[in-house]
Amino acid sequence: MSDAKTRIDETVKANDVVLYMKGTKMAPQCGFSQRVAGVLNFMGVDFADVNVLADDEIRQGIKEYSDWPTIPQLYVKGEFVGGCDIITEMTLSGELDKLFEDNGVTYNKDAADKIREANN
């Protein structure tokens, strides 16, 4: 298990934005992963995707690493942000924009605004 924790830690620290998900950013394998990857893709965020379905150690390890039971899981600048519901709420409230801005993560503000407009 420590090997998985080491690999997760290295990935989270080496990338500004990481999404642990079922599938890949271009081919999500569950609705929750699709929603979060879709938001990040639409907003033009450059993010690393880790397919937990391809590695059982990572699939279990990420849950222990974050002490969060579900996937997807989003990390920004090495910090766990949350899963699908939290990312959805943060997107709609503008908190995700602020998180990206505070951490120097490039994203498309107009796209973020369009998401909010479409959900009002």
Closest CA to 66 of 8, 1, 23: 8
Phi then psi for residue 115, to 5 deg, are -60, -45
* Residue 30 assigned as binding residue: yes
Q: Crossing angle for the helix pair 109-118 and 31-42, nearest 10 degrees?
A: 130
Binding residues for [2Fe-2S] cluster: 30
Binding residues: 30
